[in-house]
Structure 1
C-alpha cells in the first residue's frame, strides 16, 4: 500500500488485506535472505538484553521498509510523511504484524515512543521538518538525556548547564548524563539542561542535540548480564542551534513532564497489546508443552496474567481515545507503568510456578532455564521509567487529588 492510496482512506478490510500482503511478502524475502536478518539470540528470555548497533540497524531497516510501504506512520499528518488515517488502522496493522516474525523494534522504543512525540509537540517548525520524518522512518534514532549521577528521581536537580551565546543565539552545553538507553547507536538526543539560576522547575530548558557533534562522548555501562544497553554521555562545550530548542527558555520542566508521560505510556503499552512476552497464545502453547496446564497453581497464576493484561488493554484503549481527542498524555499514564510492572511480576510468578527447579538448573530442555534471566530482571523494571513509588505518588496527588505528606521540619532533618 502506498502513502497516496492511504490518503484515499481505504476501508478497514482493504487496509488489512494490503497490510497482510506487505508483511507476508517482506517476511518471505527475509527468510530467503534477501531482505532482513533476524536476531538469533532467542535462546533466552530477558528484559535487559542490551541491544547492539547491529540489532538497531536491523530495526531501522525494517522500519524504513514499513514506512515506504505506507505503514510506518499511519496516523501521522501527510505534510510530515504520515498516512493521515484514523487510529483504528494503526491497530489493524499491529494485529497483522503480531502474526508474523518480524524484526524487533525494541531498539527504537525510546526514539519512537518518547523523542518523536515530544518533538512533535514542542519542536519548532524547522526542527519538525528536519527530524520528524527521519525519526519515524528509522533514518534517525533518538535517545533521552535526562538522568544524571546526582539527578535521578529528583530530575529537577540536573546540573548540566546550557549557556546562550549572545552573538549567535546558539547554546553551549557542558555536563554529564547517565543511564541513557541506546545512546551508543543514536543520532539525536533529547536533552534537559539548566539555563538559568532561577526558581526550581523554572530554570530548565529542553533541546535536541546531535549525538555525533563535537564534544559528545558516549561510554557504555556494562551490566552483569554481559550486555550494555545503558550508557553515560559526556557533553563538553557542545553547540546547539536555538532552532533545536524544545519549548520556551526556562520552560523545559513542562517538556520533561510530557516526555515522561509519553515514556510511561510507551512502556505500559507493551503490556496492553498482547505482544512479545505477553502473547497469551504462545504462553498457553508453552504451558502445554510443559504438560502442566492441569496444575491448579499454574492455572491460578495464568489467570492472574490474563486478568492483568485484560485490565491493561482496557486502560490503554481509554488512553488512546484521549490522545485521539487531542489530549496530551497526563499523570494517569503512570497507571500504565504500574500495570506493566504488575503484569511482569505476575508472568514471573507463572514462569517460576510452571518450571520449579528447572528455572534455575539448566537441564538442556528447551524453554526452561532460558527464563532465568527474565525472572532476575523483573525487579529492575520497578525502577525504569520512574520508580513504582514515584508513580504511586503521582497518581495519589495528581489523579486522585490526595494531599501531600507533611514535610519534615528542617530542625529534625539529618
Structure 2
C-alpha cells in the first residue's frame, strides 16, 4: 500500500490485513539487512537513559522510511502534505498490529516525531512546512529540541541565547544549549532564543536551525551509566533566515509551551502500555518464569502496575482525540507525564519485590541484575520534560484553577 494509492474508503479489516502483510515481509527483510540484529526486547539490559548510537539511530531511520513508503508512516496526516488522510482508528490499528512484531525501535526518533514535527506543523511558515515536514516524517531528517541552557532548565523563560536581527531581516544566534537529546545525529533543531529586551515571556522567538550550519558545535555528555544521549550545543553567530522563524517575533513562549505539551505527551505516551517496558503480557510471562506469580506481595505490586496503565490508557486516548480534532495540546498533557513517572515507580517496585537481592547482584540468572540500571534510572524521569513538581503546579493553576501559593 503506497501513500498515493490509499483510499479513504479502505475498510479497517483490509487495512489490518495489508499492515500484517507488510510487517510479515519487513521483519524478515530487516533481519536480512542487519544480520543478527538484537531487538530491544531480547537485550539483557533494561534502562531508561541508555542513549542511541549512530548505528541505532540509522536503524530507526531506515525502519521509519520503510514504514512511510509502505503508507503507514503518517496515517492521519493530510494528503497534500504527504499523509495518508485516514481516520485515527487506522493509526491505532497499525500500532496495535506492529506491536506484535519484533521491529527495530524508533525511540531515537522520539523527539523528532513527537515534538519537533508537530510544532513545525502548527507554527511553521509555508517554506518550513514544504522543506522539513515530509523529510522529518520519513526520517530523511531528524530533529532535536534546543531549549534548556546551563542557567535555564526548569525556568525556561530565562534563556540567554541571543537572536539578533540583521539589516537583511534574517537572524544571527549566539549561545549555549544543554541536555539536548539526540543532537549528535540530528539535522535540524527547534530553537528558543531571546530576541528583545521586552518583558518576561514576551521577549523570546522560536526558530528552526540547521544543525549542520556554520557555527553549530555539538559535544556529547557522557553519563555515569555509559550512555551519551545528551549533548551540549554551542551556537556561535549562526545565521538563520527569517522564513525559519516559528510564530511571531517575541511570541516564542507560546510556541515553547505547545512544544512542551507535545513533549509531555510524547514522554507520557509509553505509560498507556502495549509496548516496551509496559507490555503487560511480557511482564506476566516474566513473573511466571521467576515462579513468583502466586506471591501475595508480587500480585499486589502487579495490580498497581495494571491499574496505573489502565487509567493512563483511558486518559491518553482522550488527550489524543482532542489533539487529532485540531486542538493544540494544553496543560492537561502534564497528566500524561505524571502518569508515566508514577507507573515507572510502580514497575520499579514490582521488579524489586519479584527479584529481591538478585536485583543488586549479578548471579548469572537471566533478567535479574539487568534490571538494576532501570531501577536506578527511574528517579531521573521525574526531571525529564519538566519536573513532577512543575507538572503539579501546571495542573493546579491552569487546569483546576487553584490560586498560587504565597511568596
Task: Summarize deviations over 1:81-123 as a string: whole Å, max 9, x none.
Answer: 1000011000000001100000101000000000000000000
CA RMSD of aligned residues (A): 1.2
In structure 2, do the counterparts of structure 1 residues 209 and 35 end up closer, same or farther at CA, with 3 Å as the change threshold? farther
Asked if residue 256 in structure 1 is aligned to residue 256 in structure 2, the reply is yes
Give the superposition deviation at 1:170: 1.2
Question: Are the equivalent residues in 1 in contact too, given 2:39–2:103 (CA < 8 A)?
Answer: no
SS in 1 for 2:236: strand
Question: Are the equivalent residues in 1 in contact too, given 2:8–2:86 (CA < 8 A)?
Answer: no
Question: Are the equivalent residues in 2 in contact too, given 1:46–1:374 (CA < 8 A)?
Answer: yes
Once the two structures are superposed, the pairs formed by residues 40-59 of structure 1 within 5 Å of their partners are 42-59=43-60
2:387 is matched with which residue? Answer: 387
C-alpha separation in 2, matches of 1:119 and 1:102: 28
C-alpha separation in 2, matches of 1:35 and 1:13: 33
Asked if residue 61 in structure 1 is aligned to residue 62 in structure 2, the reply is yes
Give the superposition deviation at 1:30: 2.1
Give the superposition deviation at 1:3: 1.2
2:22 is matched with which residue? Answer: 22
C-alpha separation in 1, matches of 2:396 and 2:36: 46
1:220 is matched with which residue? Answer: 220
2:92 is matched with which residue? Answer: 91
SS in 1 for 2:134: helix
Asked if residue 144 in structure 1 is aligned to residue 116 in structure 2, the reply is no
C-alpha separation in 1, matches of 2:79 and 2:37: 31
Once the two structures are superposed, the pairs formed by residues 68-217 of structure 1 within 5 Å of their partners are 68-166=69-167, 168-217=168-217
Once the two structures are superposed, the pairs formed by residues 232-251 of structure 1 within 5 Å of their partners are 232-251=232-251
Give the superposition deviation at 1:274: 1.9
Give the superposition deviation at 1:4: 2.7
- Decide which moves more: 315-324 or 280-289: 315-324
Give the superposition deviation at 1:8: 3.7
C-alpha separation in 1, matches of 2:34 and 2:298: 42
Give the superposition deviation at 1:29: 1.4
1:309 is matched with which residue? Answer: 309
Give the superposition deviation at 1:11: 0.4
C-alpha separation in 2, matches of 1:132 and 1:308: 35
After TM superposition, the score normalised by the length of structure 1 is 0.96
Give the superposition deviation at 1:37: 4.4
SS in 2 for 1:74: coil
1:6 is matched with which residue? Answer: 6
After TM superposition, the score normalised by the length of structure 2 is 0.98
Task: Summarize deviations over 1:10-36 as a string: whole Å, max 9, x none.
Answer: 100000000000011000112334799
Asked if residue 339 in structure 1 is aligned to residue 300 in structure 2, the reply is no
Give the superposition deviation at 1:38: 4.6
C-alpha separation in 1, matches of 2:139 and 2:188: 12
Question: Are the equivalent residues in 2 in contact too, given 1:26–1:35 (CA < 8 A)?
Answer: no
Task: Summarize deviations over 1:128-179 as a string: whole Å, max 9, x none.
Answer: 000000000000000000000000110000000000112x211000000000
Equivalenced residue count is: 406
Task: Summarize deviations over 1:370-402 as a string: whole Å, max 9, x none.
Answer: 000000000000000000000000000000000
Q: Runs of 5+ in structure 2 lacking a partner?
A: none
Question: Are the equivalent residues in 1 in contact too, given 2:143–2:188 (CA < 8 A)?
Answer: yes
C-alpha separation in 2, matches of 1:295 and 1:275: 25
Question: Are the equivalent residues in 2 in contact too, given 1:301–1:350 (CA < 8 A)?
Answer: yes
Question: Are the equivalent residues in 2 in contact too, given 1:36–1:58 (CA < 8 A)?
Answer: no
Question: Are the equivalent residues in 1 in contact too, given 2:8–2:85 (CA < 8 A)?
Answer: no
Task: Summarize deviations over 1:244-280 as a string: whole Å, max 9, x none.
Answer: 0000000000000000000001111111142100000
SS in 2 for 1:32: helix
